[in-house]
Amino acid sequence: MDQQHAAAELLSDLCTLASRPTPQREEVRIWSMSGVERLTFPDGTTCIFKYARQPFDGEDQALRMAHTRGVPVPRLHTSAVREGWLGMFMDDLGAPTREADDLDGAAAAVVMHAVRPAAVLPLMDTSRLAELPTRARDHLGELRKGERWLDADDVERFLDRLAQAAQDRAQGAALAPFGWVHSEFHPTSVHISANGWRLLDFARAFTGPGLLDLASWYGTVEAPDPQRLLVLIESYVAAGGTPDALADRGGLRAERWALGWHRVWAVEWFMEQAVRWINDPATDPAYLSVVRRHLADAVELLEV
């Protein structure tokens, strides 16, 4: 089922479940694997309609679990799944009053990491973190079977180096903070309004090292900055986060460990998208460029 058809079918299902009439639709953000729309019903009320396909089709469960554990999230009105697509009606939080800053991010991370993780979330413990380079190498093998990424010998060499050092460098993954990881933790994920803050976008939440959230805060477009992340970790501790967040792990300073493994995590995800979820050779140059950049960063940060 294509995205447009899936959105229409899910909207119909959700309106039936919520006993709401057909609304007007306004696109907020549309991506090839998901979409966000603002709905306006005949009585003038609004809500957010979010839809996404696998592997993002479990966000409704994550939102419900986050709410029951005290994490401020948008209220989920109802959800439905159809042929691998998830649809949700959520509170319309409106436009944020300002962008979240580093102190907001540190405070939000403290709240999220303090809650009990859910058993149904995927687990990223020490052994599974160490497997990421090998999993990425397996994705490369699948791509090459399809006559794709044939000029990526440098990617293979970087992944081999990371795989050889992974067991040692992954040590310390279970140190606190270990538990609920948002995984898409950016300033745009913290919505701030006159009514407080809410955390958005739980589609890829998992149980694992909370430092990966802090490493993701600044994104991956710019070069990684360990000193900048160290300041954020210190703000996190000052806001009530565990002092163990500053502890060395895998023979590295916490900030280098977190940035390095976050890049490895991103590489494995991008390569899985290329081979499984997107699977479009036309996107290969863009994906390969990003993977090369992240791998170079990871090798430097993890000192392998």
Do residues 291 and 149 share a domain? yes
42, two tokens: 């005949």
> Does the predicted TM-score (pTM) go above 0.75?
yes
Domain boundary among 36, 68, 90: 90
pLDDT at 120: 84
Do residues 16 and 126 share a domain? no
Do residues 113 and 85 share a domain? no
295, two tokens: 């791998």
pLDDT at 37: 97
Number of H helices, E strands in the chain: 10, 9
Q: Domain holding 46: CATH number?
A: 3.30.200.20
Do residues 122 and 250 share a domain? yes
Do residues 243 and 117 share a domain? yes
The domain total for the chain is 2
Do residues 240 and 292 share a domain? yes
Do residues 152 and 265 share a domain? yes
3-state secondary structure 98-149: ECCCHHHHHHHHHHHHHCCCCCCCCECCHHHHHCHHHHHHHHHHHHHHCCCC
Do residues 20 and 114 share a domain? no
2, two tokens: 């294509």
Distance CA 236, CA 76 (A): 28
Our measurement of the distance from residue 53's CA atom to the centroid of its chain's CA atoms, rounded to an integer in Å, reads: 15
Residue 38 burial (C-beta neighbours within 10 Å; 0-12, 13-18, 19+) = middle
Within a domain: 97: no
Q: Amino acid identity, residue 241?
A: G
Distance CA 133, CA 188 (A): 29
pLDDT at 119: 82
Structural domain boundaries enclosing 61: 3-90
Q: Amino acid identity, residue 227?
A: Q
pLDDT at 116: 86
pLDDT at 118: 81
Domain boundary among 90, 114, 144: 90
Within a domain: 96: no
At a CB cut-off of 8 Å and minimum separation 6, what does 249 contact?
171, 172, 173, 175, 257
Q: Amino acid identity, residue 59?
A: E
pLDDT at 2: 86
Q: Domain holding 194: CATH number?
A: 3.90.1200.10
pLDDT at 258: 98
pLDDT at 159: 98
**Per DSSP, what are the bridge partners of residue 20?**
none
pLDDT in tens, the chain (304 residues): 788 999 999 999 999 999 999 999 999 999 888 999 999 999 999 999 999 998 999 999 999 999 999 999 999 999 999 999 999 999 999 999 999 999 999 999 999 999 988 888 999 999 999 999 999 999 999 999 999 999 999 999 999 999 999 999 999 999 999 999 999 999 999 999 998 999 999 999 999 999 999 999 999 999 999 999 999 999 999 999 999 999 999 999 999 999 999 999 999 999 999 999 889 999 999 999 999 999 999 999 999 9
Within a domain: 274: yes
pLDDT at 187: 97
221, two tokens: 């477009």
pLDDT at 115: 92
